[in-house]
Structure 1
Amino acid sequence: MCQKQLENLAAVVEKFGSAPTIADMPRRTLADKGINGPTAAHVIEEVHSPYNLAYLTFTTGSSAFQNIVGVTFEELPDRKRATQKALEMANISRGAHALVTYAPLVNVYSAQALHEYGMTWSFLLRSSRDALIVALCRDKPKVLIGESGFLKVALEDVANLGLAEAMPRDCIVLCSGTPLDLDIIPLAQKYGWQIHDLYGCQEFGWIALDGRPLRDDISLVPSPLGDDYKELVLGGLPLADSFIIGAGGHECNSSGQILTYRRKRTHPEYEVLITATTFSDPTIIEKAARSILRIKSRVVKVHPHIKCNAEATEMQLVTNMALTERDAKPAATITGPQKTRLFDSLVEAQIAFQKAGKTDPTWVKKS
């Protein structure tokens, strides 16, 4: 009798059930994310990605160890608007095709944003300069996306190999991933290429093109590096990057004021204190600070005397040293709703997560 009951239960488990089998689980592949191109810096690993994230990506590792980054659904609309603005400012037409030299860069746009702009893209056969030169000479792309140092050395190789005549002309180049190497500009001019400096990061998407902001929740605040530099703050969250603000304009556009190619890492880095919230209970802010903001590698703390039911979020930027000084004044105060929009969208993601109960019964701790 016991064996028959077991067999009946096993049959039910195999054929029915609210929880999925591994074969039933939805899959988000490299192709789904639009990053199915080769790189020499990664292995391909399947992971269980939380359903509350739009996708996972990693920092490029240009200045530190590569860290995992989670992108929420709630922040995608601003990312898409910034991407569209960048493409329009660079005079890239809808429906254009781009050659992307480093596949993970697509995550900063998000494949969804490029699809909505009508763009298509392809990758190199191998992540090497020789493969780039072959693709340039054979396919003659009109749009090129890649890191400026890599592109610059490839252009030098083209001249040494005697392939200049086979190169495409009038290409629009979006240099991104690392600070713009200015030496690429005269090399590219030989082919009539338009060089653009696209600044951003995996954590928050694109922020500036040729020194011009792509979002309206950007603030420039005093930097610990001195009066010549300003710290860039996005949606209330400091990026740990400081820039010269140049009256003479950006090398790629005279109207651009943020000299993104003259970036310096801010030291000491700012931390964020939330001093006011629109919520009646600060618990939601505390949870967001402890969880979702950590996937952005940002330290956010809740002021012990936070003001609730405020008209807008208020955030103070302080240094680690200032935190130990009772009467220390903040370096800057960021007040919403516009200037704190990114932070507020991440709090919205935290709220959405809390409203959606866990769907995996194995995590239910109480009967």
Structure 2
Amino acid sequence: MGAGAELRRALLEFGTGPLLAEMPRRTLADKGIAGPTAAHVIEELHTPLNLAYTTFTTGTTAFQTPVGVTWQELPDRAAAGVRALERCGVPRGAELLVTYPPLVNVFSRQALEEYGSKARFILRPSRDALLAELCSGARFVVGESSFLRAALQDAHRLGLSRELPENLVLIAAGTPLDPELADEAARLPGAQVHDLYGCQEFGWLVLDGAPLRTDITLCRDPGDAGRHHLLVGGLPTGDCFRLGAHPLNPEGAICTNTKVRSPLELETTLLAGNVSSRDTALRTARTILRIKSRIIRVSPDYVCGAEQTRLTVGPPGGPPLLELEGPEATRMLDTLVQAQRQYQRQAKTDPVWRKKC
């Protein structure tokens, strides 16, 4: 055996880097989103080990944006998902029918596992497929509100209303609440409608006007006194809402049915944090831009080693609109700082990735 052949044999048997067949794989089923959509193709990709998974914004009117979800975010994201299911009255262990598979990414599969529930999907991404599932007894449904409303109207028009289950629970998610959905549901015995707001970047945030997380903050829009920006853990979501009684819950003060994208993109500026160097704060800012598409500035006077995170939020180049101090109000941002610190402590073992030996 020649030297080259011997090297190849040794590489196959004892090499430290993985073979392609040895690499860990995360499938659609592993993420809990193994269902059909007409808006996607199925594509394999290399996902960094420091991310729990990758997903995309919905992008109904613009190109979708890639979103990275870190492992450190999963506990809070899963807790919000569990809280949403509890408030909707979904029994633990109940099966969820989901009309759009990527919505499971907003719960995270871990939330459903913790709740003892499993998501299944309509056979095809079409109203008749949803109607067939409803006529087969599906009681707990998560989907876009206009899609749900159209399916109920089809049921009435086709004389199938009596085939639908009693006490139907419709959880409208992914788009602003269709004002006619509740009226259509009211024609069915015991049916309920819930308005679930969130985004792929941060998970579920508000249900029927009531926050699902303790780090939700509202900031008045300087150009429209009636609208408020919604922030999670010090990071702007980019969405604005009016305040008042939510149409499905008089005690819910955030009218998520009035959602509009903010024409004013707010930026977060870090003033102080519990990190040992300003470089870590700068790296966190770049990480957040890359995986959440949110602009984070680091003040030239940033204070390292502070007990609590301090930050301001405001328009680019303008005066701050509010200042927040942790730990509760800045929880999301602090979680991403934790992810960055953990990443910096991990050894990079792939010499090809490191670009040096």
- What is the rounded CA distance, in whole Å, between the counterparts of 2:288 and 2:43 in structure 1? 23
Range with bigger deviation, 196-205 or 114-123: 114-123
1:224–1:266 contact (8 Å) kept in structure 2: no
- What is the rounded CA distance, in whole Å, between the counterparts of 2:203 and 2:102 in structure 1? 12
Q: Out of 93, 96, 117, which is 1:95 matched to?
A: 93
Partner of 1:236: 234
- What is the rounded CA distance, in whole Å, between the counterparts of 2:124 and 2:354 in structure 1? 46
SS in 2 for 1:122: strand
- What is the rounded CA distance, in whole Å, between the counterparts of 2:266 and 2:308 in structure 1? 21
- What is the rounded CA distance, in whole Å, between the counterparts of 2:243 and 2:349 in structure 1? 49
- What is the rounded CA distance, in whole Å, between the counterparts of 2:33 and 2:82 in structure 1? 19
Partner of 1:325: none
Matches for 1:100-249 after TM superposition, within 5 Å: 100-138=98-136, 140-191=137-188, 192-246=190-244, 249=245
- What is the rounded CA distance, in whole Å, between the counterparts of 1:259 and 1:87 in structure 2? 19
- What is the rounded CA distance, in whole Å, between the counterparts of 1:291 and 1:150 in structure 2? 35
Structure 1 runs not aligned, ≥5 long = 323-328
State the Cα distance separating 1:216 from its structure 2 match.
Answer: 0.5
- What is the rounded CA distance, in whole Å, between the counterparts of 1:342 and 1:75 in structure 2? 8
Residue deviations 1:270-300, cap 9 Å, x none?
Answer: 1111111222311101011112442101000
Q: Does 1:284 align with 2:274?
A: no
2:17–2:350 contact (8 Å) kept in structure 1: yes
Structure 2 runs not aligned, ≥5 long = none
2:233–2:331 contact (8 Å) kept in structure 1: yes
- What is the rounded CA distance, in whole Å, between the counterparts of 2:228 and 2:180 in structure 1? 25
- What is the rounded CA distance, in whole Å, between the counterparts of 1:98 and 1:318 in structure 2? 39
Range with bigger deviation, 292-301 or 39-48: 292-301
- What is the rounded CA distance, in whole Å, between the counterparts of 2:41 and 2:283 in structure 1? 33
Q: Does 1:297 align with 2:287?
A: no
Partner of 1:326: none
AA aligned opposite 1:190 = R
Residue deviations 1:5-55, cap 9 Å, x none?
Answer: 111111011222111111001110001111000000000000011000000
1:225–1:266 contact (8 Å) kept in structure 2: no
State the Cα distance separating 1:253 from its structure 2 match.
Answer: 1.1
Partner of 1:334: 324
2:268–2:296 contact (8 Å) kept in structure 1: yes
Q: Out of 342, 346, 358, which is 2:348 matched to?
A: 358
TM-score by length of 1: 0.94
- What is the rounded CA distance, in whole Å, between the counterparts of 1:365 and 1:121 in structure 2? 42
Residue deviations 1:213-241, cap 9 Å, x none?
Answer: 00001111121342211111100001111
AA aligned opposite 1:360 = D
Partner of 2:18: 20
SS in 2 for 1:227: strand
Partner of 1:37: 35
Identical pairs, percent: 49
1:225–1:267 contact (8 Å) kept in structure 2: no
Count of residues in Structure 1 that have an aligned counterpart in Structure 2:
356
2:168–2:192 contact (8 Å) kept in structure 1: yes
State the Cα distance separating 1:359 from its structure 2 match.
Answer: 2.8
State the Cα distance separating 1:63 from its structure 2 match.
Answer: 4.2
1:222–1:332 contact (8 Å) kept in structure 2: no
- What is the rounded CA distance, in whole Å, between the counterparts of 1:66 and 1:28 in structure 2? 21
Range with bigger deviation, 161-170 or 34-43: 161-170
- What is the rounded CA distance, in whole Å, between the counterparts of 1:7 and 1:256 in structure 2? 70
1:207–1:215 contact (8 Å) kept in structure 2: yes
2:274–2:309 contact (8 Å) kept in structure 1: yes
- What is the rounded CA distance, in whole Å, between the counterparts of 1:48 and 1:101 in structure 2? 27
- What is the rounded CA distance, in whole Å, between the counterparts of 1:264 and 1:127 in structure 2? 26
* CA distance 1:77–1:293, shift in 2 (3 Å): farther
AA aligned opposite 1:65 = F
Partner of 2:65: 67
- What is the rounded CA distance, in whole Å, between the counterparts of 1:359 and 1:127 in structure 2? 43
- What is the rounded CA distance, in whole Å, between the counterparts of 2:265 and 2:276 in structure 1? 30
